[in-house]
A and B are shown apart, each in its own frame.
Chain A
Amino acid sequence: MKRHYWNHVYMIFLLLLFSLYAKAQHLTISGQVVDEQQEPVIGASVSIRNSSTGTITDMDGGFTLQTPIDAVIQFSFIGYETVEVKATAEPMRIVLKENTQMVDEVVVTALGIKREKKALAYSVTELKDDAFRVKDSNLAAGLAGKVAGVNVVKPATGAMGSSRITIRGNGSFGSNQPLYVVDGIPLDNSDYGQPGLWGGTDNGDGISSISSDDIESMTVLKGGTAAALYGSRAANGAIVITTKKGQKGKVKVELNSSFTLDKPIVNTSDFQYEYGQGISGVAPNSQEMALLSGPASWGAKLDGSDVLQFDGVARPYSAVSKKNFSNFYDNAWSLNNNLSLSGGSESTQYRLSVGDQRYHDLFPNSKLNRNNVSLNLTTDITKRITLQASVMYMRERVKNRQNVNDYSSNGNVLLWTLPPNIDIRSLSPAVKENGDELLLSDMYVYFANPYFIANKRAQQDAKDRMLGSLQLQYNITDNWYIRGKAGGDMIYRRAESTTPMGTGYLKEGNISASSTYNGEFNAEAILGYTNRFSDIWTVSAFAGWNSMIAWSETVSAYGSRFIQPNFNVIGNTEVTSGGKNRWENYINSIMGQAEVSYKNLLFLTLSGRNDWFSALSLRDKSTPNNIFYPSVGAGLIVSEMVTLPSWFSFLKARGSWAQSGGAVSPYNLALTYSYGEAINGYPTGSINTSTIPNLDLKPLTSTAYEAGVDVRFFENRLGLDLTYYIRNTSDDIVTAQISSGSGYNNVLINAGKINNQGIELLLTGTPVRTKNFEWNSSFNFSYNKSEIKKITDNVNSFIMATARAGAAGDQGSPAFIYQEVGEPYGIIKGYSYQRDENNNIIYDSAGLPQRGEIKKLGESIHPYTLGFSNRFNYRDFNLNVLIDGKFGGSVFSGTNNMTCYLGTSKMTLDGREGGVVGKGVKRDGSVNDKAVPAMDYYMHLANNITEEFVYDASFVKLREISVGYSLPKKLIRNAGFSNVMISLVGRNLWTLYSKVPLVDPESSYTSGNAQGLEQFGLPATRSWGFNVNIQF
């Protein structure tokens, strides 16, 4: 060993001598590297072949380099074909051609490892920063339609809401969202609460804090095969975000500004404007009658006569409600400014970015401000040691997130159900003289006055967050490197919500406040090795260790019954309480990966990871607290092996297999007790949970298979990427509903089996490419078939969510989201019509349709998604159009149900005069001819027949459009700018196809698993705006 060491020193000494000698016979070359448009290429690599000597082009594409005489110089740059030229003494002008082949593309994969795309055994999609030019308030929601296999849901909760991203279907009854990784550090994407059965606000998620202006690229690792290295966190795939870094050269300043105006999309044509407030076809003849009628639009035909309203004022009995939406909702807008400064020397590069985003939502007084400051630093401490540091500070201030779904405190409900003859503005100001909420009727306390919600009810939250990482890489030799990384995501959030004194349904009011400190920290070390043997074999491998700690600590306080009005602090309440809750979760891991390639045409990758879980550890536990996650994959470049026709540019086949896992939360192994408030000095105590803990719990296992081909034709003008995958989840942790007779409502068990399989297709093409004009087209399509194979030994179905409409016997027909063996993930069930053998609806003697069985009425998740993107470049103009669609899913619309019950929707017009004669048969089989008064019929319908309110939620939307113009370089260069681009942008401009009346087909009240239900959310918005990008 010792001897070896001295040999090395001796060798290095010789090498040094040799290089000194070599330097003697040198030549200084210089020149400029440009692209086909004769624009300088900055940062291109200039190196001597078979040597490590080289340089990089400067801001003008220029370079100088000392080379041996007769050296061959390589000029290369990512995205361009490499050029080799013999060194000459004269200034050289090198033209780099854009590499349209794309196959040498380098993508960021799991753990931030950069790999050649052609070496990958699985499908990945990388989106560059320009994919986010048309901004959404939630970064992840901007993925809609852009990646095959990725299903994006933005719930109807406004600009400050969260997003739901699922990749290759839903694999678990628990979490289905991917892991987000920013510059190698996992991001805490906790959501801080979602609306549920009884309403509530969407309190946002973690990913929304990241500014799209700071993003260099976003790589979607679809499922276990691509994300296997993340082990127990990989089952739902991973989205790896790389932030923008500085480049060598002059200081570059970039300003990006955009402004958009958002208009609510309300389908006023689906409401009725012919009959006014009232009951049984009669208009109110007194104030009392108006109060009894409340929001019921079952009155007489609007005739313009004076009719008393809730406030005792007689107003014309004519349709005024069409303008209620525009009179109440604000025109929402957003303003986004980002300024960045970047640059660097040969050894140190930096980028500093400052951003400010403001969103005024359409619900009055509802807004979001967000600030981002980020700093990125890369420095070569020595030739072999590189340090990378990045830190992001994110600040969010939100005012008045809106309640959705349930009625209480939901300002949308009355606005959407108000009888046609009532002007919303007659409910303004929001309060009576005594300060109490002005209600449409005291009998309907849960139909909140929207002005009261906007102006009196208060909610606010503030989030301050730091996301940072430090990475040190030491290239020990040309073959060995060691990389250490540590980083964390720390979030401090404060929230406060006030139901003020005088609120209709809660006279004395209440207030709650909480502050949460949560986040996660990761430390990681990797030892890597890369070598190439005899131009045939290339080996690249690493082994590493990772340690994670995640935590959350919440302190909350609550007060009810305000003492003084209009002073909304907890100290001003009669009854106060508070508490604290915290948890910590640890995972330690070791992992490794080896990639072997043969002649650059066959690639084989093996990886493994072993995770140890604190959440699975407990004294006296007999089952292991760790799990191993393996993966294997292979890629074969067929086009390099066999000679294909010349129009065949590239053909690759790939296949892989992997196992990965899903999250398990701490403290679920043993029963605990909690102590409650004392009464008369006696403390109370009880079993803490309604879910039976399980000592033998383990994470779910997701086994994924994937096979695919990547084919390119006609010099890569046409490409096809096709993937077939299987994703089978076993041991899914089921919070299984059990008989409450057991004393508990649920038990945690590893029992669930869910299969997903599907295809993903990506077609890319360049139909036209001329000197001045280019048309690039990209079409993605995916189909995912999910099937619940098992829930537990005893349970074959369970209710995952219940629609508010039918809950607790309220008006509305019950609709449920079920998980059922043999069915796809999340089906919508409810009461169907009772029908005869010929499928005719049966009416009873009163002429009313009857409830049939509770049956499947639709699927809550769309199995088909597609995106069609076209990009046109003409000289300095570019046009991007993205159309996307989803098909096959359904939605139960509580909004339609309730507006049917109250006679507000257009469907209730039929039969207002003379009654409704339902189409179908009587019990005896004869044609039904019994007329039922419209009010009785539609109220009965809304109360009993779920089927009527389940709609095909398929849609096609013009999702994004942008028209950009880059000002001519010559023009702006004199003004000191290097690039100026002005764009017109639009988002959700046009719904080309939808069958859901009244509401947007994408409406959902949550980003959780309870998809397929909708009720009184915030309307979707159509946005228009412009974007200015200035670089100098």
Chain B
Amino acid sequence: MRRYILKITALLSALAFITSCDFEEKNIDPNNSPTIEPGPLLTYTQLNTSNEGLAKRTQVGYCMMMVQQTASLDLNEMAGDKYLETETLGIFFTTMYATVIKNIEELINLTEDDGTNVNTYAVALIWKSYLFHRITDLYGDVPYSEAGNGYRTQNFYPSYDRQSDIYAGMVSDIEKGLSLLNETKEPIEGDILYGGDINKWKRFGNSLLLRLGMRMEKADPAQARALIAKAIQGGVMQSADDICMVQHVEGKASTENQLGYVFKSHSLLVSGAIKISKTFMDRLKATNDPRMQVYCALPDGNTDRDMQKGLPNGYDALTIRTGDPTYTSLANYSTFNPATLLLLDAPTIYMTHAEVELLQAEAIVKGYISGDAKAHYENAVRSSMQQQAIYGNAGVISGQQMEDYLSQGLFDEAVTASDKLNVIGTEFWIATFLNGYESYANWRRTGYPRLTPTNYQSSPNKGKIPLRFKYPTEEYSINLDNVTEAVNNQGEDKMTTAVWWNK
């Protein structure tokens, strides 16, 4: 009996074992690839630097609302209009790390020790810094040195680096990238920003250094000045052609202009959740700015200048009549121009020549560098207006219109340095419209244009334009020790706490 049992068991075991031998093959995922090439990874990170949710909720819903480029009655996703604190504040953090940061780190891992992809590696280092400066500018101290590598390092709970250290790291990465860029080596793979143009990447890298240098002007003046000088010496953007942007393609959800896509997929023209701010509109009207017809239109597409109307910031559906007694319908207020900004093949802009000129103008006024501030200012205005042609014919601004605008002498009329800085800052604010991250960062740094905070009754931040985003709430349940350390270093996790470079 026992003999039988043993025999049967042995037989069955052998049977089960033999039939299980090819299990290793059977557990190979048939839907996905076990390997990846550097090119597609770079394309992915460049394209996904902007996505649907972030474009709408973080960029427009908070950044642009808070600096009064846009306005909304909506209390939900457009809560930035009233400085309300919602879970949306955390999504930029959670999304960026889990999409582009993870993949740019993977790209760096892939190309770092691989001598044949030096240029791709260099671009990856520069682009990584671009991604991180957006994150740290919004939150302050964030995971950096331990970020994005959860699979390879098995570090699931990265510590937070101080913003000063992150800035140092980014500067070092950009400089390393610039030094590695070499036209004689293999071309950059998968570059949708500059089509592999090494010189444009050099100018972009230096322009990014200039941007970071200006950010650090208060926190680390010496390093800031050195960086600014070095960047300009290295060669920053020279013309509107140097613009850093993704040219979108209509026809596939993921390759389309994400802002246009989100307007369509959430019927935002109908619901009227996003409007041009009265503050912004008043400025365009007062200076007869030709960019108004590019930026603004009524929901039905009407771009007639006299019909355009901005919505005051800081009101909801129930209180709007106290802010604008003439209010009857949201359909009467301007929104993004569907014939330009919202075209599904319209580009997403990451950095423009115009803003680089304005940074130089500012640096000259502040005495960081020498030069002709007015010339840089006027270059900026012309470049910004020329640049609108990226939206097709509806975006073309004539030379005459540019000169008419400049002939108002806004820069010359500003007498004091502070007034000049206000003109430069206001121009920056108009030129970076639709790059809300940068508009918000630059406003925080310079304080220009001069904005009047809103006073929404139940807002925890009423009367104070916030200075940073709060950390995602889940970090407090998942990564408590590290986020606590960041809060101890940086100050309370409030929207009114200034980040390192803004203290």
> Which residues does A use to contact B, with CB under 8 Å?
279-280, 288, 291-292, 294, 442-443, 445, 503-508, 527, 541, 543-545, 547, 560-561, 574-575, 577, 580-584, 586, 588-590, 592, 610, 612-619, 625-626, 666-667, 669-680, 682-688, 690, 692-693, 736-745, 747, 794-795, 797-799, 806-811, 814, 940
Contact = CB atoms under 8 A, between A and B. Distances in A.
Contact of A743 (B15, B31, B97): B97
B20 A612 contact: yes
A614 B23 CA distance: 5
A443 B248 CA distance: 30
Contacts of A507: 264, 267, 270
A667 B29 contact: yes
Given A588-B20, A742-B143, 6 more contacts: A581-B31, A612-B17, A740-B94, A741-B158, A742-B158, A809-B87
Contacts of A583: 29-31
A679 B33 contact: no
Contact of A682 (B39, B147, B267): B39
A616 B272 CA distance: 52
A586 B23 contact: yes
B418 interface: no
A990 B189 CA distance: 69
Contact of B33 (A442, A673, A680, A794): A673
A690 B40 CA distance: 18
From B12, B192, B249, residue with most partner A Cβ within 10 Å: B12
Contact of B147 (A666, A669, A742): A742
B24 A619 contact: yes
B430 interface: no
A443 B157 contact: no
A737 B265 CA distance: 30
Contacts of B150: 692, 738, 742-744, 747
Nearest to A679: B255
B103 to A, nearest CB: 5
Contacts of A799: 474, 477
16 contacts: A443-B330, A574-B251, A588-B20, A615-B27, A666-B26, A673-B33, A682-B190, A683-B39, A684-B44, A685-B43, A742-B149, A742-B150, A743-B148, A743-B151, A794-B157, A807-B87
B8 interface: yes
A690 B330 CA distance: 40
Contact of A443 (B19, B264, B272): B272
Nearest to A296: B318
B32 A679 contact: no
B13 interface: yes
Most buried by A among B29, B98, B101, B267: B29
Nearest to B101: A743
B281 interface: no
B73 A506 contact: no
A618 B328 CA distance: 66
A749 to B, nearest CB: 9
Nearest to A608: B9
A685 to B, nearest CB: 3
A744 B99 CA distance: 8
B271 A443 contact: yes
Contacts of A737: 474, 477-478
Given A442-B271, A738-B150, A666 B266 contact: no
Interface in B91-130: 93-95, 97-99, 101-103, 105-106
B75 interface: yes
Interface stretch (B76-84, B363-371, B386-394): B76-84
Contacts of B23: 586, 612-614, 617, 625
A676 B103 CA distance: 13
* A-B CB proximity, top 3 nearest: A809-B86, A685-B40, A742-B150
A445 B252 contact: no
Contacts of B267: 445, 503-507
Given A686-B103, A810-B76, A739 B16 contact: no
Contacts of A806: 87
Contacts of A280: 318
Contacts of B192: 679-680, 682
Contact of B98 (A679, A745, A807): A745
A744 B98 contact: yes
A686 B44 contact: yes
Contacts of A614: 20, 23, 26-27
Contacts of B79: 809
Contacts of A675: 33, 40
A423 to B, nearest CB: 23
Nearest to B249: A679
B401 interface: no
Contacts of B77: 808-809
Contacts of A797: 477
B102 A527 contact: no
B228 interface: no
A560 B251 CA distance: 10
B19 A588 contact: yes
A745 B475 CA distance: 11
B415 interface: no
Contacts of A561: 264
B182 interface: no
